[in-house]
Amino acid sequence: MIGTVLVANRGEIARRVFATCRALGIATVAVHSDADADAPFVRDADTSVRLPGAAPADTYLRADLVIAAARTAGADAIHPGYGFLSENASFAAAVRDAGLTWIGPSPDAIEAMGSKVRAKELMAAAGGPVGGMLDPADVTADDLPVVVKASSGGGGRGMRVVRDLADLPGALEQAGSEAASAFGDATVFVEHYLEHARHVEVQVVADEHGTCWVVGDRDCSLQRRHQKVVEEAPAPGLSDATRTALHDAARGIVKQVGYTGAGTVEFLVDQRHSEERQSEKGGDAGARISFLEMNTRLQVEHPVTEAVTGLDLVALQIAVAEGRTLADAAGVAEPPAPRGHAIEVRLYAEDPADDFAPQTGTVRAFEVPGVRARFGSLDAYGLRLDSGVEAGTDVGIHYDAMLAKVVAWAPDRNAAIRMLRGALRRSRLHGVTTNLDLLDGILGAPAFADPVSLSTLLLGDRLDDWAAPRIASESRVAYATAAALARAAAVAAQAPVLARIPAGYRNVASQPHTVTFGVDDDELTVAYVSERGRLRPADGGLVAETVAPDRVVLVRDGVATAYGVVRSGATAGAETVDVDGPAGSLSLQVVPRFVDPADQVAAGSLLAPMPAAVVSVAVEAGQRIAAGEVVVVLEAMKMQHTITAPTDGVVSELAATAGSQVESGAVLAVITEPDTEPDTEPATDQPDADEGDDA
């Protein structure tokens, strides 16, 4: 029996495993980097061990340090979570060689499935559906589009879609570099890209006694950058024939490799050919299926399967590692049939409107109302939250951008969509730009409501519509008005010397007080006045019924709306006002009346779109470049981002250096027209402007 488990991971998956361990009476150990020293998952563990450094390659990917930590802390088992070393056969073998219990499949099974190339060969040997691969040297224009994939790992890292033959060499190089950074293996391969297919996966769990359970299926078609955003179980809209074919293929490869533990077999399902196949074969012939890969670990989206089956997949992983049977561990002879429908959304620290650029910052508030379960199975229809962050958590550049997963389980799919959308709209998340607006747009879209429309291209096709701000312009005026009035009330309450002066007092009574807020890329100016000590909007369409530093009630056309207001950063020079209303949360930055000259940058400056590490610099100072040429490659949250020249010109200044860290907005380079000089010096040359280098 396992007594103490070390989780070789971080964030929400570490917290998820700790929750099951606590329920089973198993002690827990966390390992953490310096960047994660104060993270919630470290506090959740009974004990913790520091891994010096911040980058994954120096910490969570160091198998020797993780095993040494287990020995030091007295752990007798290691759970790898997902990502990092979870699918590293050498790590699994080293854990066993150290006399520890490995909570996962055998090293041989991991190695067999770890290479997507080898996995496809094994699936073919098991009689399953496999698509063909291409030799990069033989790819022609007729083969396009193709996709370059990392042979190891997953999560969209080391993956590039190529639609122009000229882009293939660069895609191979970048995918290999990204894969090496994320997984320690730069091997990539090329195959045809099925543009209109769905991404459907099958959950399997197998014990050491020859029993294999197929624990339902999931649809994960809604993706950005080949990373899943929305997942649901069961996969909606599949015919019986297609579902049976998927389950049989998954069961077949488990038997083929002698797999044990929890795993996921992933497929592309092309429903466009269903009618054609039915006419050829008669009856329900099912859709066209192509095997993608097998993930030899727990999946990020496992909570939706747990919701509809009532199983604890982490508990089953531990039971299998202890040598028990699935029936004994679960208390049932067969996997439960799915009940109802579950949908999960991944909440990311990213900006969908800016090509999903990762975002950093400190989470000032994070609340999801109505949550029935955290990191565990629901006992009734409702909401589950698995979160890696809490109020006060710093979100940095070193790790994945996912903050949390919100899961709704309801009697049917439509009810789950409505429940989840309502929860997201009432959620409070301040301090970090996220994809909340995008998630709301997806859940409210008719195309998502219709399972027939699902495909891996759907999100990209509808991104502009779905990522539009959910708080309309007129509502934003009300939010900004609430922010301005609450701010004025707070300033008056916090300044004793002004106690006898009415809030919003002006010695030029004919003019209202104004404050300007920055909201995304726009600015909103709000005017308000004070009459006999009472604050009111200058906008005649809005009436202030209640004004307090933390709550404002505004009335428009007889309808009263309450807004919660939180003000922060007033003494630090970067004041933000967070407003929560019926349409969601909105963060407004107070625009200073005077601009610091040190904040000005030269015309033609290329700025870092997010805090990141500089992977490489492709140019030199004084070099002539053309529009579209690569200038700098950045890496943030395990994804690489290419910064290209916006116009022809000369690199008149070069601030970025390979291996350095840059803050969002930092000047990377200045490109000017030939024989011209920059208008001003770059911000990085101004006093105190290079503080981001120490991030």
Residue 135 confidence class, pLDDT cut points 50, 70, 90: confident
Confidence tier at 114 by pLDDT (50, 70, 90): confident
Q: How many other C-beta atoms are found inside a 10 Å radius of the C-beta of residue 55? A: 16
**H or E segment to which residue 413 belongs:** helix 413-426
One DSSP character per residue, 340-392 reads SEEEEEEEESEEGGGTTEE--EE--EEE-TTEEEESS--SSSEEEEEES--TT
List b or e across 157-178, with b for residues whose CB sees 16 or more CB atoms inside 10 angstroms. bbbbbbeeeeebeebbebbbbb
Q: What is the pLDDT of residue 242?
A: 95
Q: Binning pLDDT at 50, 70 and 90, where does residue 507 land? A: low
The token pair at 601 is 């940058």
The three-class DSSP label of residue 432 is coil
| CATH code of the domain containing 54 | 3.40.50.20
Range of lowest pLDDT (47-61, 348-362, 567-581): 567-581
Q: Do 295 and 223 reside in the same domain of the chain?
A: yes
- Stretch 400-418: mean pLDDT, rounded? 97
Question: Residue 205's beta-bridge partner residues?
Answer: 213, 262
* Same domain (yes/no): 98, 113: no
Euclidean distance between CA atoms 356 and 337, whole angstroms: 37
Question: What secondary structure does DSSP assign to 596-635, as a single string?
Answer: -GGG---TTEEE-SSSEEEEEE---TT-EE-TT-EEEEEE
| Tokens coding 661 | 């860290």
The residue among 339, 359, 388 that closes a domain is 339
Task: Say whether both 120 and 247 belong to one domain.
Answer: yes
Residues 351 and 452 in one domain: yes
Q: Which of 263-267, 271-275, 539-543 has the lowest mean pLDDT?
A: 271-275
Q: DSSP string of 185-248?
A: ---EEEEE--TT-EEEEEEEEE-TTS-EEEEEEEEEEEEETTEEEEEEESPTT--HHHHHHHHH
CB atoms within 10 A of CB 562: 14
Query: How far apart (Å, rounded) are the C-alpha atoms in residues 678 and 655?
Result: 14
Tell me, what CATH number does 164's domain have? 3.30.1490.20
Mean pLDDT check: name the lowest of 168-172, 218-222, 273-277.
Answer: 273-277
Q: Which helix (H) or strand (E) holds 42?
A: helix 40-44
Q: Domain containing 613 — which CATH number?
A: 2.40.50.100
Task: Flag whether pLDDT at 285 surpasses 60.
Answer: no
Q: Which residue has the higher pLDDT, 570 or 365?
A: 365
Residues 300, 264 within the same domain? yes
Q: Considering the chain, what is the average pLDDT of its residues?
A: 88
* 376-401: average pLDDT: 94
Closest CA to 270 of 193, 196, 192: 196
Residues contacting 169, CB < 8 A, separation 6+? none
Q: Give me the pLDDT at residue 72, please.
A: 98
Tokens of 654: 């070069």
Tell me the C-alpha distance between 642 and 629, whole Å.
10
Around 37, how many Cα atoms within 13 Å sit in the side-chain half-sphere? Answer: 7
Q: Are residues 483 and 586 in the same domain?
A: yes
> Do 458 and 479 have their domain in common?
no
Distance CA 389, CA 403 (A): 6
AA identity, residue 24: L
Most confident listed range (141-155, 309-323, 348-362)? 309-323
Question: Quick one: pLDDT band at residue 353, thresholds 50, 70, 90?
Answer: confident
Task: Tell me the pLDDT band of 338, cut-offs 50, 70 and 90.
Answer: very high
Mean pLDDT of 329-355: 95
634-662: per-residue pLDDT in tens?
A: 887 667 888 998 889 999 889 888 888 88
Stretch among 77-91, 284-298, 400-414, 517-531 having the lowest mean pLDDT: 284-298
Inter-helix orientation angle 313-321/302-309, to 10°: 100
pLDDT at 27 over 70: yes
Strand pairing report for 261-270 and 288-295: antiparallel
- Which pLDDT band holds residue 691 (cuts at 50, 70, 90)? very low
Beta bridge partners of 526: 515
Question: Does 260 lie in the same domain as 123?
Answer: yes
The answer to whether residues 388 and 429 belong to one domain is: yes
What is the percent of the chain where pLDDT is above 70? 89
Q: What are phi and psi of 173, to 5 degrees?
A: -65, -45
pLDDT at 607 over 70: yes
Q: What is the CA radius of gyration of the chain?
A: 27
Burial class (CB in 10 A: 0-12, 13-18, 19+), 155: buried
Asked whether the beta carbons of 205 and 264 are under 8 A apart, the reply is no
The residue range of the domain holding 461 is 341-470
Helix (H) or strand (E) run with residue 428 in it = strand 428-430
CA distance 228 to 456: 9
Residues 121 and 260 in one domain: yes
* Tally of domains within the chain: 6
- Within 10 angstroms of residue 621's Cβ, the number of other Cβ atoms is 12
| φ/ψ (deg, to 5) at 123 | -65, -40
- Out of 416-420, 607-611, 673-677, least confident range: 673-677
Q: Lowest mean pLDDT: which of 206-220, 234-248, 536-550, 675-689?
A: 675-689
Reported as a pLDDT band with limits 50, 70 and 90, residue 141 is confident
Q: What pLDDT, on a 0 to 100 scale, did the predictor assign at position 685?
A: 41
Query: Given a cut of 90, is residue 294 above it in pLDDT?
Result: yes
Strands 47-51 and 27-33: parallel
The Cα 266–Cα 623 span in angstroms is: 47
DSSP code for 130: B
**pLDDT value of residue 686:** 41
- The model's pLDDT over 192-203, given as tens digits with 9 standing for 90+, comes to 777 789 999 999
Is 506's pLDDT higher than 60?
Answer: no
Task: Identify the pLDDT of residue 154.
Answer: 63
**Same-domain status, 365 and 456:** yes
What is the average pLDDT across 684-691?
Answer: 38
β-bridge partners, 34: none
What CATH number did the domain enclosing 427 receive?
3.30.470.20
Question: Are 85 and 119 in the same domain?
Answer: no
How far lies 457's CA from each of 132, 220, 373, 413, 462, in Å? 21, 12, 32, 21, 9
State the sign of the Cα–Cα–Cα–Cα dihedral 359, 364, 365, 366.
positive
Instruction: List the structure tokens of 316.
Output: 């089953």
Looking at 441, 470, 499, which one is the last position of a domain? 470
- Mean pLDDT along residues 258-282: 73
Q: Which of 156, 82, 150, 131 is nearest to 249 (CA)?
A: 131
* Cα–Cα dist 485/481, whole Å: 6
The strand pairing partners of 614, in sequence order, are: 634
Which of 142, 163, 192 is the last residue before a domain boundary? Answer: 192
